[in-house]
Amino acid sequence: MNNKNYITTLGIFIISIVVQFITFPGIAEYPAHVDEPSVVDTAFRIYKGEFNPGFFRYPAGHMNILALVYKVCSIFTKQITIDDAYKISWFVSNVFVACMPMMVFIICTLFGTYILGLIGSCFAILSSILLQHSQYAIVDVSLSFFCLLFFTISIFWIIKSNFSPNKIFFLSILIGISVSMKYTGALLILSLFIMIYHFIERNPNSQGEKHFQLAFTGISGAGLLLIISVFIIYENYFIQGLIGLTTDGILEAEYYQLLKKLIILSLVVSIGLLVLAYFIQVEKIYGAGKFISPLYLKSSFIIIIGFFIFSPFTIFEIKKSFADFMYEYRHMQIGSAAQYHHLSDNYHSIIQNIDRMYAIKFYCRLMISNFGIAGITMAILGIKEVLSQKKIIGITLLSFSFLMILTISSWQNVAIRYTLSFLPIFYVFIPFGMHRLSTLLEKRYLQYNYSLAILVFVTSIAPIMKWINLFG
pLDDT for res 283: 61
Produce one character per residue of 308-332: b if its CB has 16 or more CB atoms within 10 Å, e if not.
Answer: bebbbbbeebeebbbbbbbbbbbbb
Please tell me the total count of domains within the chain.
Answer: 2
Residues 113/105, Cβ–Cβ less than 8 Å: no
410 in the same domain as 326: no
| 381 has a pLDDT exceeding 70 | yes
The yes-or-no verdict on residue 26 having pLDDT over 50 is no
Mean pLDDT of 315-323: 82
> What's the average model confidence in pLDDT over 374-380?
93
pLDDT: is 30 or 257 the higher one?
257
> What is the structure's pLDDT at 28?
45
Same domain? 67 vs 155: yes
44 shares a domain with 159: yes
Average pLDDT over residues 302-329: 85
- Average of per-residue pLDDT across 16-26: 76
Q: Which of 72-84 are b and which e, b meaning 16 or more Cβ less than 10 Å from the residue's Cβ?
A: ebeeeeeebeeee
3-state helix, strand, coil in the chain (%, to 5): 80, 0, 20
Query: What digits encode the pLDDT tens for the residues 325-337?
Result: 877 877 777 766 5
> Is 211 within the bounds of a domain?
no
Q: Please enumerate in sequence order all residues whose Cβ is within 8 A of that of 29, keeping only pairs 6 or more positions apart, or say none.
A: none
Higher-pLDDT residue of 4, 354? 4
Q: Is residue 389 part of a domain?
A: yes
Phi, psi of 115 (to 5 degrees): -65, -45
The pTM of this model reads 0.87
Q: What is the mean pLDDT of residues 309-313?
A: 89
Q: Is the pLDDT of residue 340 over 60?
A: no
3-state SS assignment for residue 338: helix
Among 396, 190, 216, residue whose Cα is nearest residue 292: 216
| Boundary-marking domain end, from 324, 352, 380 | 352
Residue 27: pLDDT band (50, 70, 90) is very low
CB atoms within 10 A of CB 93: 25
Both 271 and 192 in one domain: the answer is no
Amino acid 179: pLDDT: 94
Question: What residues contact residue 57 under an 8 Å CB cut-off, 6+ apart?
Answer: 38, 324, 325, 327, 328
Q: Are residues 167 and 199 in the same domain?
A: yes
Which residue, 323, 300, 246, 321, is CA-closest to 60?
Answer: 321
The reply to whether 63 and 194 lie within a common domain is: yes
For the segment 62-74, the average pLDDT, to the nearest whole number, is 92
In percent, the amount of the chain with pLDDT more than 70 equals 82
Predicted confidence at residue 450, as pLDDT, reads 85
From the list 33, 48, 137, the residue with the least C-alpha distance to 87 is 137
Is 129 inside any structural domain? yes
Per-residue model confidence as pLDDT tens digits over 134-154:
889 999 999 999 999 999 999
**Across 183-201, average pLDDT:** 89
Is pLDDT above 70 for 30? no
CB atoms within 10 A of CB 109: 22
Residue 261 inside a domain? The answer is yes
Judged on CB neighbours under 10 Å (0-12, 13-18, 19+), 277 is buried
Given 331, 352, 373, the domain boundary residue is 352
Which stretch of 107-111, 194-198, 264-268 has the lowest confidence by average pLDDT? 264-268
Tell me how crowded residue 101 is: count the other CB atoms within 10 A of its CB: 27
Same domain, 27 and 151: yes
Whether residue 271 sits in one domain with residue 199: no
Residues 331 and 229 in one domain: yes
pLDDT of 463 over the 90 cut: no
User: Are residues 183 and 75 part of one domain?
Assistant: yes
CA 327 to chain centre: 21
User: What's residue 358's pLDDT?
Assistant: 82
Are 95 and 193 in a shared domain? yes
Q: Please name the amino acid found at residue 101.
A: P
Rounded Cα distance between 303 and 177, Å, is 8
Task: Name the least confident of 73-82, 171-180, 257-266, 383-392.
Answer: 257-266
Residue 176 lies in a domain: yes
CB-count burial class (<10 Å; 0-12, 13-18, 19+) for 333 = buried
Nearest residue to 131 via CA among 424, 398, 455: 424
The residue among 45, 43, 47, 36 whose CA lies nearest residue 75 is 47
Give the range of the structural domain holding residue 162, as residue numbers without chain letter.
3-205+355-471
335 & 446 share domain: no
CA distance 343 to 298: 45
Q: Is residue 181 domain-resident?
A: yes
